[in-house]
Amino acid sequence: MFKEHIILRIPGPTPIPPNVERAMARPMVGHRSGEFSKEFAATAARLKLVFQTEQDVFVLAGSGTAGLEAAVANTVSPGDTVLICTSGNFGDRFTKIAKAYGANPLVIEAEWGTTINPDDVRTMLGAHPEIKAVFATHCETSTGVLNPIREIADVVRPTDAILIVDAVSSLGGADLPMDAWGLDIVVTGSQKALMLPTGLCFMAVSEKAWQRVEQNANPRFYFDLRAYKKQLAANTTPYTPAVSLIYGLQEVMNMIEEEGVQNMFARHKTMQRMVRAAIKALGLRLYTEDAISSPTVTSVYPVEGTFDPEQLRKVLRNEFNIAIAGGQAHMKGKIFRIGHMGYATPVDMLQVIAALEIALVQVGASIELGAGVRAAQEAYLQKQEVTAHV
């Protein structure tokens, strides 16, 4: 029934607001026309609000991984020593990209479900002053961990190294003030908290990092940020932009500006608390501790032998058209992940939790129906009470 009514509760891509879909259906125009150039430049400038920066924000046609590769291609020369901070599948991706560009990666590896220790970063930088760049993931999507980027930035800032942050699944859902924290490059994608389809990546570059871009010996073409900076000053992009997605981005920025960025972060925190409270009430295990959990995705680790997470996902999809995510790499088939980012509200969390309870019963889990929904409701009301007393 209603096969097109797919409810996405995965950590990307996320649901698209109807007004954004309508905007993307606007008639096509020439991407070098004066009309589009004016709209593009204004929209790119508005992205500074989300990045919380005064730096230019570059818009590239490509996925979030394209932005991560662009960050490497523009700052890492062959033979450079770099430090990769990884706590999951997407931290590991930075290592693969760095190797592809001829870098010499040193790796700090935290156990999945835990965060990077800033003291380990300090120790590594002290032992290897030749490190040119430090790479870290803000929200590790594969686990639901939120790494301590502010503390890592405090360690990196006094050194000659630059800090490059993968914020693909966090920007717009978790507070990440680029300028205030002294971050050098921040990269994100369109299909997560920014409520757009896949196809755009956004990145901002500090003055410290820009010096590295200018000095970098790597050959570059499509990913050459110097070309993007030059063309942004002329209100355009060096290569064909994704016109329809830019139209959608205009609507996204309207929504963000109307809600307010701090209210946007608070909404994501509320959804996070509701989901985590529900999981605890149902007697399931959370993969990450509360203090290090992300406001955009929650990972659940069933007690071994109680039920099959993949079977649970199948029931949710077949019975309710609800899509949740499974585990990745060595956690495939062992955990499931619920995305709560972007075009989502607390009532959406009540929906997925209620359906999750039914699916859990159907796959043989021993739970009390209604316990998760009740806990989520109470978590929401606690948030309301706090707000009322402020």
Instruction: Please report, for the domain that includes residue 277, its CATH number.
Output: 3.90.1150.10
In a domain, 2, yes or no: no
In a domain, 322, yes or no: yes
Distance of CA 157 to the CA centre of its chain: 23
pLDDT in single tens digits along all 390 residues of the chain: 677 889 999 999 999 999 999 999 999 998 888 889 999 999 999 999 999 999 999 999 999 999 999 999 999 999 999 999 999 988 899 999 999 999 999 999 999 999 999 999 999 999 999 999 999 999 999 999 999 999 999 999 999 999 999 999 999 999 999 999 999 999 999 999 999 999 999 999 999 999 999 999 889 999 999 999 999 999 999 999 999 999 999 999 999 999 999 999 999 999 999 999 999 999 999 999 999 999 999 999 998 778 999 999 999 999 999 999 999 999 999 999 999 999 999 999 999 999 999 999 999 999 999 999 999 999 999 966 555 443
- If asked whether residues 118 and 222 sit together in one domain, one would say yes
Domain boundary among 258, 291, 321: 258
Residue 32, pLDDT score: 86
- If asked whether residues 271 and 233 sit together in one domain, one would say no
- If asked whether residues 361 and 327 sit together in one domain, one would say yes
Spatial contact of 231 and 238, defined as CB atoms under 8 Å apart:
yes
Instruction: Please report, for the domain that includes residue 75, its CATH number.
Output: 3.40.640.10
| Number of domains the chain is built from | 2
- If asked whether residues 135 and 244 sit together in one domain, one would say yes
In a domain, 1, yes or no: no
